[in-house]
Amino acid sequence: MSLTEFAPAKVNLFLHVGRPGADGRHPVCSLVVFANVGDTLEAEPTAVPALAVDGPFADQAGPLADNLVTRALALAETPPMRVLLCKDLPAASGLGGGTADAGAALRLAARLFPEVTTDQIETAARRLGADGLMCLHARPALAEGEGEILSAAPVMPVLPAVLINPGVPSPTGAVYRAYDLSDGAFTADRPDLPDRFMNVAQFVDFLRLQRNDLAAPAIDLAPEIGKALAAVAARGGCLLARMSGSGATVFGLFATPAEAERAAATVAAERPGWWVRSCLLNADATAA
Residues annotated as catalytic (active site), given as ranges: 10, 131
Cβ neighbours of 273 (radius 10 Å): 7
Rounded Cα distance, 80 and 273, in Å: 38
The residues pairing with 7 across neighbouring beta strands, listed in sequence order, are 39
Rounded Cα distance, 213 and 186, in Å: 8
Question: Does an H or E element contain 229, and which?
Answer: helix 223-233
Rounded Cα distance, 210 and 231, in Å: 21
3-state secondary structure of 199: coil
Question: Does an H or E element contain 231, and which?
Answer: helix 223-233
Half-sphere exposure of 224 (CA within 13 A, CB side): 15
